[in-house]
Amino acid sequence: MLGFIVGFLYGSLLEYLIHDFIFHRLGKKKGSIWSYHLKDHHRLSKRNNFIDLTESKAESTGMMFLVLIHTPLFFISFGGWLGVTLYALAFKYLHGYQHKYPEFTKKYMKWHWDHHMKASNKNFGVVVPWMDYVFGTRKKYSEE
């Protein structure tokens, strides 16, 4: 059980670091392969009242790569592997669901709504906002 909790927390940390440093910081650089995140995903979401039905091949490939490189964890700590893998799956499916059903996101996952609709340099958590609290990037713009 402890392994699962640690794996899930680690998944949240990975999500935060990838979203903040790779998609937002590296994505700002001209010609970056990560620029689609800000140029396409954020612009489309903002323009369409949070709706974005496109699926990023880079994001899906990256998710599969992350799960693959964590495969050795399966043999070291099944719980840890399960935690990080389930977090990755939660991200994959919840992110798409959130952008398909913005009212759900606005009501139950306000931090992600705020990230897109209020300030893209805050609230990097998609599944949970835990690491935003840890790193001081959680910003509430309205009641949750």
> Of all residues in the chain, what percent carry a pLDDT higher than 90?
76
Spatial separation of the C-alpha atoms in residues 16 and 129, rounded to whole Å:
9
**Residue 45 pLDDT > 60, yes or no?**
yes
Sign of CA dihedral 139, 94, 38, 28: positive
- Spatial separation of the C-alpha atoms in residues 39 and 37, rounded to whole Å: 6
> Can you give the pLDDT at residue 141?
84
- pLDDT given for residue 61 in this prediction: 85
Distances in Å between the Cα of 25 and the Cα atoms of 32, 50, 75, 96, 120 are: 10, 21, 34, 22, 11
Backbone angles phi, psi at 141, to 5 degrees: -105, -15
Please determine, for residue 144, whether its predicted confidence score (pLDDT) is greater than 60: no
Compute the mean pLDDT over every residue in the chain, rounded to the nearest whole number: 92
Rg (CA), the chain: 15
Distance CA 137, CA 128 (A): 13
Please tell me the predicted confidence (pLDDT) of residue 33: 86
The pLDDT score that the predictor gives to residue 30 is: 86
DSSP letter assigned to residue 28: G
pLDDT value at 131 more than 80 = yes
Q: What is the pLDDT of residue 140?
A: 87
- What pLDDT, in 10s, does the model give residues 48-92? 999 999 877 777 888 889 889 999 999 999 999 999 999 999 999
List C-alpha distances in Å: 103 to 57, 85, 98, 111, 138: 25, 27, 8, 13, 20
pLDDT of res. 143? 58
Quote the pLDDT of residue 108: 95
DSSP track, 35-64: THIIIIIIHHHHHTTT------HHHHHHHH
